[in-house]
Chain A
Amino acid sequence: MDRNEILNTVNNVFIDVLDDDNLVLSEATTANDVEEWDSLNHIQLVVAIERQFKIRFASQEILSWQNVGEMVDSIAEKLNQ
């Protein structure tokens, strides 16, 4: 799965969890850019992404992402292991 495919899949998870069909993510998107991306939804997103990609994040990773691109980095790293 290449980065674009990962980003598209992540975008779909965000749409489902945040209940916003118009949401378009880029690698530079941060929580500041998305109104509904708060601390509770962050957790919902993390677990929904884990389920979608059948991966498991470490606690430190969950807190470290500065933007969607870094989230994609973590996913790509796990898928390539």
Chain B
Amino acid sequence: MEHPVNYIYNKIAELNPMHGKKLKKNIAFFDDRYYELADTFFEKYTGILKAQNKNLDYAIDCYLQLIADVNAETIEFLRSGKYSSTTFEEVNQRVYARPEIMEYYMHGLIMSQFLWKHHYQIVDFFISKLPSYKGETKNYLEIGAGHGFYLSKALEILDDKTCFTVVDISETSIALAKDFIKDDRVEFNLQNIYDYNSDKKFDFITLGEVLEHVENPLQLLAKVNDLLSEDGVLFLTTPTNAPAIDHIYLFESADFIRDVIHVAGFKIEKEVDLLTEDVSPERAAKLKIATLYGAFVKKDKAAYL
């Protein structure tokens, strides 16, 4: 059977040859493990689309709209050195409060999970390291679960008795994650994380590509620190130099992200900083090409002495 991703790559190459050319470079990189994960993912996703009377072609159109947005934002970013929006209210009016934008944006992002090499690499980093935290994780929290792919992997990897909680501000995201997961071990909370309080502390918190969506990442990390148990682990990812219609906080380098992590009272255990294009780190810095940073961090107890 043909891999769904091959159909997707070919269709994109037909509809947008310049972007197809860029994606083609990824194919050489992908291994059997990629196809195994991607096949399962797209099988599930195609089922969800079908239940909504949609198909992969619809999702491809959504993805290409997202690419058009990213390209337009990138031009503005390279011209000005800034993201086009800087407040939550701005992006709320521009994106989150507009269902017609959210619809294509969410589907476009889902597609990017297995079309962008760095999105695959970061989930691979998560999947390969999470088993080492299995024994200590009784309570798992994900803030901003998106389409729920990380959560689905955590459900597979962690102990059956682990309690899973999701806090997400977006109704669209929660509906999608529920469709993807269909597991009654998960408690979903449609809530702003700042309004969320819990009697229990969490042993593992996932915060995937959320920090760039908030005005004050330090304030969010302080809240996360408060929710995390004493020896708990936080897995976070966030990009540098990655303009998008709903990104408001610009991290200009991985060093800057590390500084924010340290100031928020965490120490880094394991990390990756993935280039989004096949260029040398020097050229990436010169051309302001995005990277995706990911790390497993713990509370830095020395910081409280």
Contact = CB atoms under 8 A, between A and B. Distances in A.
Interface in A26-44: 31-32, 37-40, 42-44
Interface in A1-55: 17, 19, 31-32, 37-40, 42-44, 46-47, 50
Interface string B182-207: 00000000000000000000000000
B22 A59 contact: no
Contact of B79 (A37, A42, A50): A50
Contacts of B78: 43-44, 47
B21 A59 contact: no
B18 A31 contact: yes
Contacts of A19: 279, 283
B67 interface: yes
Contacts, number: 41
A43 B75 contact: yes
Contact of B21 (A39, A44, A46, A56): A39
A66 to B, nearest CB: 12
Nearest to B67: A39
Dominant secondary structure of chain B at its interface with chain A: helix
Contacts of B79: 47, 50, 56
Contact of B75 (A17, A37, A46): A46
B16 interface: yes
Interface residues of A, number: 17
Contact of A47 (B25, B67, B75, B277): B75
Interface in B264-289: 277, 279, 283, 287, 289
Contact of B71 (A17, A32, A39): A39
Contacts of B54: none
Contacts of B74: 40, 43
A37 B232 CA distance: 46
A50 B289 CA distance: 18
Contacts of B18: 31, 37-39, 42
Contacts of A40: 22, 74, 277, 289
A62 interface: yes
B72 A59 contact: yes
B17 interface: yes
A61 B72 CA distance: 12
A4 to B, nearest CB: 26
A62 B277 CA distance: 21
A19 B21 CA distance: 17
Nearest to A43: B74
B287 A38 contact: no
A31 B78 CA distance: 21
16 contacts: A37-B21, A38-B18, A38-B19, A38-B21, A39-B18, A39-B19, A39-B21, A39-B67, A40-B22, A40-B289, A43-B78, A44-B78, A46-B75, A47-B79, A56-B79, A59-B75
Given A17-B287, A31-B17, 17 more contacts: A19-B279, A19-B283, A32-B17, A38-B18, A39-B18, A39-B19, A39-B22, A39-B67, A39-B71, A42-B18, A43-B74, A43-B75, A47-B75, A47-B79, A59-B72, A59-B75, A62-B75
The 9 closest A-B pairs by CB, nearest first: A38-B22, A39-B19, A47-B78, A38-B21, A39-B18, A39-B22, A43-B74, A31-B18, A44-B287
